[in-house]
């Protein structure tokens, strides 16, 4: 046993375990989103997450990984590594290359899952599958290449440790584009200008989701070191916790004092906003800064939610406020609070400027390519559910179940959507 | 600090963490099964999993482990190690022997949990406890000894890295035997030959289960190296992911094009079939083969489900299609795709032959001993619930709860099964 | 790469991963408690856990950690380390000091979560926030200092490896005090002396919680080594599993034979009691002793539950029986079964005596300070919900949701608590 073998083993299990934690976050996304939407669409939104984790992972294997991490061409795109083949000599890890693929695959399915929430309850399921292919094979990988794959934004010096910008801002703006492209749910905004709310169908289920996400985020941020001997690991985990706690506490107290009621959805999303907000800076900022970043992320999420309502944009689970807005804030916060090169520590505006350039590029890329992609898909099949599909619910329309929660006895095959043997309760 | 100490520590935390992940799979089994069966039996099926994880673990401590991993007698049976006592010098790890017990205990409770699903909604709870004792103390340990404990199948050269055969095929055929022995649920098959379906009672809950299982499977497969410096760990995790994704994607697309609806239960079980299918070969096959293995596993699961229906065998959660059929396929796939000795890579039929021999032996063993065991138990107590117990539901019959989901205020002790104070909603 | 660097990396990932597992236990607490209480209070109890994990973690950052682990003053209190500042030279780890904070923060939010269950369904939400501040900033940190932070109980030789006394007995007695201070839920005990029961609203959800807790407990106990090369890690995990299995099996069989029905809540709480019972002794006792300890813990939990009923003390989720009583038993069990210094192995009563002294001190401290704290809070705001708040449910009263589980279409803002657009199902 040599010290190199041990080190390779240590790094490998670190990456594998943290990748598994991130993949469990898909369960978190699925349940959070299912809990937030109406009963009749609970199964559909979970199935969308299954699209992400199955088809999305395969697309990233066949195409996306190569575009993101293959041999760089002009700072714009990767050109090798499709199906883990071709020259990848520039990637040098103590663990096998496909282990690196696994970790990155866990990231890409998180990105597409962000969008899945924003289009909840009204997207055509087949159109979603096509869009998921586009996102995991092309949109995210190219944007990610620019920052992490040897591309031009990384060369400029942009800092985004675990993806406030690459994952969350890009994903959040893609979510915004998709929500706007598809339009609000039927009945969400009334003709005479008032707005309505769809209460979460199952808040305990959403909470399961939130706790799984919180757990997985330790893998997301600390695992991004890709090395178990990185001295920053402990600190990364600590600031992740502090920012999440701060985001949740800020929304809990704000809604308590402003509305006399601590709003459950807000607290859940506030904690998640804290997690998103610290994702870029977790390796660069202090504990105290993390508390500030988290609190601001939580409050910005609340304001962004109200702004969306006022603009009559329908984002059923708050994907844009949580991921888009906090992703922007987190990326900017690195420019402000990085202890090595942030404005508040060095008086130097350079990093902040680079962060802003990168943000604009990634947000425009996520928004624009999503709009373009959905436009192309619409040439072929409808992007939006029909009125009738939406009315009866996407669970029945696309997945052939009467409802996510059943209280029936047996049902005859020949008319399973019509009548039941025996209705109870 | 010496390099040996470090290595021992590294291996220990690897085995402990992956064992914990496998034990969490019990939560996955419980919720998956509860979500798939009818409301009135939700608690019962979870309690059966509690039987597995509590009584099953203890039986494996007192008896099973010794039979499986004790000093070998004639290639047939282990003879030491009961209660971690006796000569176990042939087991040589960098970590303590009871740590090895923990990892193996996590496996045995998975095996019995496979059976728990197939007998859902109609097995007598006491009979199930007795059967669980039999399985965890004797049936699985002896079968497992033959392959993993120094027995004759392992000597023949059978390859089953993490248990497609030992865990899933054996468990799946035991499940089939139990389902056939007990007979279908009342009302499942009508006298005039038509079949009915029982819709899943809670698909979101089943999905929680699926995600927990997926997460735990990384521990199941990669942890089976029992050494953190095994260079295959990363690759094992990668093929686990690819096969699961492929199994889920195959069923998602197949049901979408065949039935115009992506069936949620099918996608969940398809992903699990992909996981089962890769469990034998995860250390031996390539990424591309894993994608193929997973897709075939998913589709075979669908066909096996239809076959069971046509044979009027009632397996409420699909335990046999998911574990039995995919377990067989996964074990055969090693004989075909093993990069070192598989038919497609070497042209040599030897490994494939050994795999088939092993499969037949383990499936017959699992099926036969289960049938025998249940026959013996029936001499003493009824194996099947009474008609009345089944009608009112096993939750009330065996666990004294009105229903898994309550919406009552307080209830008086003296007549808790009769009336309620105050019914709401 | 030096061997010291590797060791530091190994220890760091061990502590980070186990801390993440413990933090996931908050999800376990939330769901367990939500599943045990009535529908109308499901969200509220989850929100209380969010108070714990957000505000509690921050209080421990600003104040609690310093009192617990700062430079010792007279064996009574820590005096540095607030916000991770000041002299902490006495703490010497291979990982960063804030990583140690993270692990300890995971512990403190577990303590306050114990209390959250006992006061379920009737505590004023604002009063709970204030109490949570008190517990996480002062009560637990000072009690913990005495045993783990260099204080007088540790100097006496008290052994409490992962907290049967410091976490569970202290937390359980705090829970008892809070339950008594606030009084029983309206309708729980009838005027003419009979008692009623509130059936768990969602046992499957409670089971998710139990499995998450079981998983996290491996992090809780084994992670408490704070060093990945501690040779006891494997054994700690093994006895944790055995004691949990034994506690669950004992209650499962006891309720089966005594009441003819295996009670689901009892089995869940029995497993948890087994986990609590082994928490003090996991590094000190044998496998066989662990099985005994777990079984006794499970049965004591049952008897304590009956005792509380007979005393007309209302503890809706069994926080005192599970944590308080098993915590006491587990701490005493170290004095009996410690293979190095326990009474049954050495004939020496000394350790047992020290354990008893420590227990009395910590239980009185937890009970007394909680009573005092709630008395002070009551001078400012009501500690108990109003009758009306309790009647309509705390979800509506404090969190503005109609119910945890919704089956509505859209609702107009202006009268969201009054009427709905469209009621289904």
Write the CATH number for A71.
1.10.3430.10
Q: Are B28 and B272 in contact (CB under 8 A)?
A: no
Question: Nearest chain A Cα to B186, which residue?
Answer: A410
Taking alpha carbons only, the member of C317, C296, C318 closest to residue C307 is C318
Average pLDDT of chain C to the nearest whole number? 92
In angstroms, the separation between the Cα of residue A252 and the nearest Cα of chain C is 8
Q: How far apart are CA A299 and CA A302, in angstroms?
A: 5
Q: How far apart are CA B86 and CA B97, in angstroms?
A: 12
Residue contact C425–A211, C-beta within 8 A: no
Give pLDDT, residue B396.
Answer: 87
Which of A21, A187, A199 best tests the C interface by mutation, with the highest count of C CBs <10 A? Answer: A199
Grade residue A421 by pLDDT with cuts at 50, 70 and 90.
Answer: very low
Does the pLDDT at position A350 exceed 70?
A: yes
Residue C88: inside a domain = yes
Nearest CB to A199 within list C21, C51, C408: C408
In angstroms, the separation between the Cα of residue B416 and the nearest Cα of chain A is 18
Residues 6+ apart with CB under 8 A from A94: A4, A7, A8, A11, A12, A227
Give pLDDT, residue C221.
Answer: 97
The values of phi and psi at residue C335, to 5°, are -65, -25
Nearest CB to C412 within list A10, A194, A215: A194
CA distances in angstroms from B223 to B220, B233, B244, listed in the order given: 6, 8, 17
- And the tokens for A417? 């959507």
Give pLDDT, residue C63.
Answer: 98
- Determine the average pLDDT of the residues in A332-361: 96
Taking alpha carbons only, the member of A71, C200, A415, A332 closest to residue B399 is C200
Helices (H) and strands (E) in chain C, counts: 19, 4
Strand partners, A196: C412
Quickly tell me which residue has 């992903």 as its tokens: B271
Give pLDDT, residue A414.
Answer: 44
The neighbours of chain B, by the rule of 3 or more Cβ pairs under 8 Å, are A, C
- And the tokens for A328? 């922007």
Residue contact C24–A215, C-beta within 8 A: yes
Residue contact C46–A264, C-beta within 8 A: yes
Residues 6+ apart with CB under 8 A from B267: A47, A50, A54, B248, B251, B252, B255
pLDDT digits over A264-318, tens only?
Answer: 999 999 999 999 999 999 999 999 999 999 999 999 999 999 999 999 999 999 9
In angstroms, the separation between the Cα of residue A38 and the nearest Cα of chain C is 7
Residue contact B407–C200, C-beta within 8 A: no
**Dihedral of the CA atoms B283, B284, B285, B290 (nearest 10)?**
-40
CB atoms within 10 A of CB C282: 30
Strand segments (E) across C66-209: 72-73, 77-78, 196-197
Of B329-338, C31-40, C358-367, least confident by mean pLDDT is C31-40
Residues of B in contact with C193 (CB under 8 A): none
CA distances in angstroms from C66 to C84, C138, C231, listed in the order given: 8, 10, 30
Residues of A in contact with B20 (CB under 8 A): none
Residue A106 domain boundaries = 3-378
Give pLDDT, residue C191.
Answer: 77
The single-letter DSSP state of residue A408 is: B
Taking alpha carbons only, the member of C358, C203, C385, C228 closest to residue C280 is C358
Residue contact B252–A16, C-beta within 8 A: no
Residues of A in contact with C9 (CB under 8 A): 10, 227-230, 233
Give pLDDT, residue B417.
Answer: 35
Give pLDDT, residue A191.
Answer: 77
Residues 6+ apart with CB under 8 A from A316: A36, A37, A117, A118, A120, A121, A185, A198
Task: Give the number of residues written for chain B.
Answer: 425
- Determine the average pLDDT of the residues in C141-148: 98
- And the tokens for A370? 């999503």
Give pLDDT, residue C421.
Answer: 36
Nearest CB to C267 within list B15, B47, B84: B47
pLDDT digits over A379-408, tens only?
Answer: 999 999 999 999 988 988 898 766 666 665
Of B138-152, C76-90, C388-402, least confident by mean pLDDT is C388-402
Residue contact A8–B229, C-beta within 8 A: yes
Q: How far apart are CA A290 and CA A337, in angstroms?
A: 9
In angstroms, the separation between the Cα of residue C50 and the nearest Cα of chain A is 8
More reliable by pLDDT, A123 or B407: A123
Nearest CB to C237 within list B21, B46, B99: B99
Residues of C in contact with B416 (CB under 8 A): 197, 199
Residue C406: inside a domain = no
Buried b (16+ CB within 10 A) or exposed e, A11-43: bbbbbbbbbbbbbbbbbbbbbbbbbbbbbbbbb
Helices (H) and strands (E) in chain B, counts: 19, 4
Nearest CB to A234 within list C83, C96, C208: C96
Q: How far apart are CA A372 and CA C290, in angstroms?
A: 62
Residues of A in contact with B264 (CB under 8 A): 43, 46-47, 399, 401
Residue B412: inside a domain = no
Average pLDDT of chain A to the nearest whole number? 92
- Determine the average pLDDT of the residues in A165-193: 92
Q: Are C321 and C308 in contact (CB under 8 A)?
A: yes
- Determine the average pLDDT of the residues in C329-340: 97
What is A65-84 written as a DSSP string?
HHHHHSSEETTTEE-S-GGG
Q: Are B394 and B202 in contact (CB under 8 A)?
A: no
Q: Which residues of chain B have pLDDT under 50?
A: 413-425
Residue A395: inside a domain = no
Residues of B in contact with A35 (CB under 8 A): 204
Residue contact A197–C54, C-beta within 8 A: no
Residue B386: inside a domain = no
Of A7-21, B1-15, C392-406, least confident by mean pLDDT is C392-406
Taking alpha carbons only, the member of B13, A215, A201, A101 closest to residue C227 is B13
Residues of C in contact with B2 (CB under 8 A): 3
Q: Total domain count for chain B?
A: 1
Residues of B in contact with A81 (CB under 8 A): none
- And the tokens for B37? 């069966």
Taking alpha carbons only, the member of B210, C45, C120 closest to residue A203 is C45
The single-letter DSSP state of residue C185 is: P
Over its C-alpha atoms, chain B yields an Rg (Å, rounded) of 21
pLDDT digits over C211-252, tens only?
Answer: 999 999 999 999 999 999 999 999 999 999 999 999 999 999
Residue C407: inside a domain = no
In angstroms, the separation between the Cα of residue B153 and the nearest Cα of chain C is 29
Nearest CB to C204 within list B20, B26, B34: B34
Could you tell me the maximum CA-CA distance found in chain B, to the nearest angstrom?
A: 74
SS3 at position B216 = helix
Give pLDDT, residue A424.
Answer: 34
Question: Nearest chain C Cα to B104, which residue?
Answer: C238
Does the pLDDT at position A155 exceed 80?
A: yes
Residues of A in contact with C99 (CB under 8 A): 233-235, 237-238
Residue contact C200–B406, C-beta within 8 A: yes
- Determine the average pLDDT of the residues in C345-364: 96
Q: Are B196 and B398 in contact (CB under 8 A)?
A: no
- And the tokens for A90? 């520039």
Cα angle A171, B253, A414 (rounded to 5 degrees) comes to 125
Q: How far apart are CA C206 and CA C79, in angstroms?
A: 40
Residue contact C207–B408, C-beta within 8 A: no
Grade residue A196 by pLDDT with cuts at 50, 70 and 90.
Answer: confident
Q: How many CA atoms lie within 13 A of B72 on its CB side?
A: 18
SS3 at position C371 = helix
- Determine the average pLDDT of the residues in A51-56: 98
Give pLDDT, residue B219.
Answer: 97
Residue contact B204–A42, C-beta within 8 A: yes
Of B63-72, B100-109, C155-164, C399-408, least confident by mean pLDDT is C399-408
State the angle between helix axes of B203-223 and C203-223 in degrees (0 to 180), rounded to the nearest 10: 30
Question: Nearest chain C Cα to B415, which residue?
Answer: C196
| C-alpha B195: how far from chain center | 26
Give pLDDT, residue B406.
Answer: 62
Residues 6+ apart with CB under 8 A from A97: A84, A88, A91
Does the pLDDT at position C169 exceed 50?
A: yes
Give pLDDT, residue C412.
Answer: 52
Quickly tell me which residue has 């619910």 as its tokens: A393
Give pLDDT, residue A419.
Answer: 32
Residue B413: inside a domain = no
Residues of A in contact with B122 (CB under 8 A): none
Q: How far apart are CA A119 and CA C341, in angstroms?
A: 63
Q: How far apart are CA A131 and CA B300, in angstroms?
A: 28
Q: Are B254 and B302 in contact (CB under 8 A)?
A: yes
Give pLDDT, residue A105.
Answer: 98
In angstroms, the separation between the Cα of residue B266 and the nearest Cα of chain A is 10
- Determine the average pLDDT of the residues in A338-365: 96
Residues of A in contact with C412 (CB under 8 A): 194, 196
Does the pLDDT at position A174 exceed 80?
A: yes
Q: Are B336 and B352 in contact (CB under 8 A)?
A: yes
Which of C20, C64, C132, C386 best tests the A interface by mutation, with the highest count of A CBs <10 A? Answer: C20
């Amino acid at each position: 046993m040599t010290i190199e073998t041990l080190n390779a083993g240590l790094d490998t299990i670190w990456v594998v375990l943290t990748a598994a934690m991130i993949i469990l976050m898909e369960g978190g996304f699925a349940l959070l989103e299912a809990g937030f939407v109406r009963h009749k669409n609970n199964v559909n939104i979970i199935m969308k997450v299954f699209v992400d984790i199955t088809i999305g992972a395969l697309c990233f294997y066949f195409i996306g990984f190569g575009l993101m991490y293959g041999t760089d061409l002009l700072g714009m795109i990767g050109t090798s590594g499709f199906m883990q083949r071709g020259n990848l000599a520039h990637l040098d890890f103590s663990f096998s290359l496909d282990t690196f693929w696994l970790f990155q695959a866990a990231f890409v399915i998180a990105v597409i899952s962000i969008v899945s929430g924003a289009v909840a309850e009204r997207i055509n399921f087949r159109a979603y599958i096509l869009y998921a292919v586009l996102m995991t094979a092309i949109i995210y990988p190219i944007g990610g290449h620019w920052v992490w794959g040897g591309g031009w934004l990384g060369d400029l010096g942009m800092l985004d440790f675990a993806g406030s910008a690459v994952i969350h801002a890009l994903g959040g703006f893609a979510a915004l584009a998709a929500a706007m492209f598809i339009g609000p749910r039927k009945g969400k905004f009334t003709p005479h200008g008032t707005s309505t709310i769809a209460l979460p169908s199952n808040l305990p289920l959403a909470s399961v989701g939130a706790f799984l996400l919180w757990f997985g985020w330790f893998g997301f941020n600390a695992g991004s070191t890709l090395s178990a001997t990185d001295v920053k690991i402990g600190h990364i985990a600590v600031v992740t916790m502090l920012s999440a706690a701060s985001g949740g506490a800020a929304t809990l107290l704000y809604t308590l004092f402003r509305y006399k009621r601590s709003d459950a959805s807000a607290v859940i999303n506030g904690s998640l906003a804290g997690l998103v907000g610290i994702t870029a800076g977790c390796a660069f900022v202090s504990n105290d800064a993390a508390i500030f970043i988290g609190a601001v992320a939580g409050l910005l999420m609340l304001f962004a939610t109200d702004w969306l309502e006022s603009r009559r944009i329908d984002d059923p689970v708050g994907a844009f406020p949580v991921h888009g807005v906090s992703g922007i804030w987190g990326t900017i916060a690195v420019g402000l609070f990085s202890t090595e090169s942030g404005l508040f520590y060095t008086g130097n505006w350079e990093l902040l400027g680079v962060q802003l350039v990168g943000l604009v590029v990634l947000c425009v890329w996520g928004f624009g390519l999503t709009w373009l992609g959905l436009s192309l898909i619409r040439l072929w099949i409808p992007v939006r559910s029909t009125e009738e599909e939406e009315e009866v619910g996407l669970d029945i329309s696309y997945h052939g179940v009467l409802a996510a929660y059943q209280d029936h006895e047996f049902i005859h095959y020949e008319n399973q959507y019509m009548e039941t043997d025996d209705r109870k309760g």
